[in-house]
Amino acid sequence: MKELYDKTCIECSQLITNRYSTSFSMGIRVFDKKFRAPIYAIYGFVRFADEIVDTFHDFSKGTLLERFKQDTYLAIEEGISLNPVLQSFQEVVNKYNIDIELINSFLYSMEMDLHFNTYEDSKYKEYIYGSAEVVGLMCLKVFVEGDQKKYEELKDTAKALGSAFQKINFLRDMASDFDERGRVYFPGVDFTSFDNETKQLIEEDIKKDFDYAYTGIVKLPEGTRLGVYLAYIYYINLFKKIKNSSALKVKEERIRVRDSKKILLLFSSTIKHSLNLL
């Protein structure tokens, strides 16, 4: 019956992924089957931790996050949890030898959101690393299946992709982050005076991350490359929409890519992959 419990826990993480992110859900679906459950588990873990600090406004976020942290470490140590999200996550951590430092850095970045509303350069880089780059490294641990040489070869590009995704999220969610949480993540940026020139500088930084990340995507193991490339393409298209929007529009609304467009990107990316054009 333990197998039934484990399967149910993974299904919970899959449901969380499907509900919260159409982009990542579609990317995961084109992974080889053996990679899907572990990535669902990682996404479910990071999504729920982020929910604590972003949306549970009527509760003690610090208390909830501390409890979540302790439950996470205990689940990893004991190899079991009655929290289905932590159960599926600890299995991935223990099976793929995910470094505890990556988990520590991620959870610390969640704590930072409880204490900081603005981020200077050093804190910004620390937050990007903990909230996004380490998630890319966790996924890479799964993708390489114990091949440490491959992990070392690709880890910097995996971090760059996570960084690009997060910075685009910051731009996309700029209005809600400021209006609902009082946050501005970009160093030295005043939301009230955010202009096209400042926006362009941020976009140039994101493009560098994307360009470098692509050099690693094409070297990913077969069975993972298309899924990661698909997420990359989704975000590239979101990036283009943001670039084509004014700073004022970014401040006033959340820029999106339509689901119908995502489906077209899925088909075109699959064809490119099948023709070895990535």
**Angle CA(213)–CA(19)–CA(112) in degrees, nearest 5?**
60
Strand partners, 118: 184
Tell me the pLDDT tens digit for each residue of 184-225: 888 888 888 899 999 999 999 999 999 999 999 999 998 999
CA distance 106 to 239: 24
**R_g of the chain computed on alpha carbons:** 18
Residue type at 71 in one-letter notation: D
**Domain 2-274 in this protein, CATH class:** mainly alpha
pTM of the model: 0.92
Are 172 and 134 spatial neighbours (Cβ–Cβ below 8 Å)?
A: no
Q: Digits of tens for pLDDT over the chain (278 positions)? A: 789 999 999 999 999 999 998 888 888 999 999 999 999 999 999 999 999 998 898 999 999 999 999 999 999 999 999 999 999 999 999 999 999 999 999 999 999 999 877 788 789 999 999 999 999 999 999 999 999 999 999 999 999 999 999 999 999 998 888 888 888 888 888 888 899 999 999 999 999 999 999 999 999 998 999 999 999 999 999 999 999 999 999 988 888 888 777 777 766 777 776 666 66
CA distance 49 to 74: 16
